[in-house]
Structures are given as structure tokens and as C-alpha cells.
Amino acid sequence: MTRATRRPPTTQPPLHGRHAVVTGGGRGIGIAIARVLLSHGARVTIVGRDPKTLRSTEKQIGAPESLFATPADVTDSDSVSRALNDARSRFGAITILVNNAGQAGSAAIRRTDVSLWRRMMAVNLDGTYYATSAVVADMVASGWGRLVNIASTAGLVGYPYTTAYCAAKHGVVGFTRSLAIELATSGVTVNAVCPGFTDTDMAKAAVATIVAKTARTPEQATAELLSHNPQGRFVRPEEVANAVVWLCLPGSDAINGQTIVVAGGEI
């Protein structure tokens, strides 16, 4: 009589069965966040304004069974609602939301017109509210949810020539702290990740702006940005993504209402 061979138990990845949505998921930090969530077993919907960019990102990541892309303008609540309904149709209830869509604009206060002010509020703050309000019911009904808002060190301190951007990101931090208390007994946590200058298109645009408005070279402009980071380098998108996924993993339940700074010691 032979003894039956025992097979080792199958271990599911920690986010297996979870559906995550990443706004601004077509580039930069958004791509890094989508990748790390997928690697931990989540099904991921990426949302962005440009359908062409989203299609390119889908091909780049190459996970057709677990990745879905749908376009939306986060400054338009109806557009956000349609995109998230499409996401639910594909992967079911949304229990992880990463509000990553953002935009930076700079100008001295005397040159900060209403258009710039409203654009910074619409993309960075209104978009966070629209997406969050569209998924909270899913999370509360599930008894589990993770809301992670990508704010900025500009949500914690001030920088010159960025009053509108800093005001919007401070708003994101306040929104995070307030909602964390409101949902504290629901099984849903709300936290913010606050990167410093990160190696993305946004940082490249900041360098270009400094060059255009001053007599500095690109090298000098880059050095000025890097001077804010005690490590003397740009943050890598993957480092921000790792902080995001940590807040979503089992064992993070007591981390709520926090601002996790990823900036090499700047704050």
C-alpha cells in the first residue's frame, strides 16, 4: 500500500480577490502603483484622461486578465462615475482606491490667476473627492476598504511660487484626516502618501519651468530641486508605490489618517 502524496497548500497572494482603482494610472507613479498592486494579486483598473496613453500602458504592463483601463477626466464627476461603473462591470466591487491623478502648476501669487487656481483645485482636490465619494459605498458594504490619497510634501509644508498647488494638496491631507475618523469603525482606512520630488514627467516639467523663467541651466534647475532631498536624489516611483501597497496589505488595519512621507528625510 502506497502512501498518498500530499500536495503543499496553495497560498494566495495577499490582495487576491481585491479590486483596486488607480487614477492617473497611465504614467509615472500611477504605473508603478498598478504594477505593485498586480504583483500582490489585486485586479487593477487604471483611469486616465488620455485613451492612447492608457492603451500603451496596458500593453507595457501586459496583464490582460487582471488589468483594465478606462478613460475619465477626474475634474468631471459624471466622467468619474461612468469610469468606475465600467470598472465594476469588469472586476466587481471596488475595495482599494488610489487617488493618484494630479497636476502641478507654479506662478508667483501676482501671476496666479483664477484659471490656474481652479485647475489646481479641480485636478488635485475635486478629483480626489469625486472618486472617493463614488466608491465609499462599495467599501463600507464589504466591511473592508483602503483609500490612499497621493498628496505631496507640498501638502505638509509651503514652497514658494506654488500657492495654488500647495493649497490643493493641503486640502487632500485635511480630507484624508477627516474621512479617516468618519470611517474608522467601518473597516475602511484612509491615508495619504506624500512624495517629495519624484523622477516623473512632473519633475521634468518643473525643471523646464525653472529653466524657462530663470537664467539657470537644466543641470542647475535639477540641482535646485534635488537640494530639498537630504539624500540628494529624486524619489523613485517604485518607492512611492511600495508605501501605497503597504497600506493595503493585511496587518495595516490600525494605520489610519496618516501622512506617509516618501522624501528621503525632507520632512
Among the listed residues 129, 130, 159, 165, the single catalytic one is 165
56 CB-near residues (< 8 Å, 6+ apart):
26
Which helix H or strand E contains 195, and what residues bound it? Answer: strand 188-195
Q: Please report, for residues 25, 45, 114, 222, the alpha-carbon distance to residue 48 in angstroms, rounded to integers and kept in the order given.
A: 6, 10, 25, 27
What the block records as the C-alpha cell of 60 is 507595457
Cα 28 off chain centre by: 10
Comparing CA positions, the residue from 261, 111, 125, 128 lying closest to residue 198 is 261
Cα 237 off chain centre by: 11
Q: Is 229 helix (H, G, I), strand (E, B) or coil?
A: coil
Annotated active-site residue 165? The verdict is yes
236 CB-near residues (< 8 Å, 6+ apart):
198, 199
Catalytic residues: 165
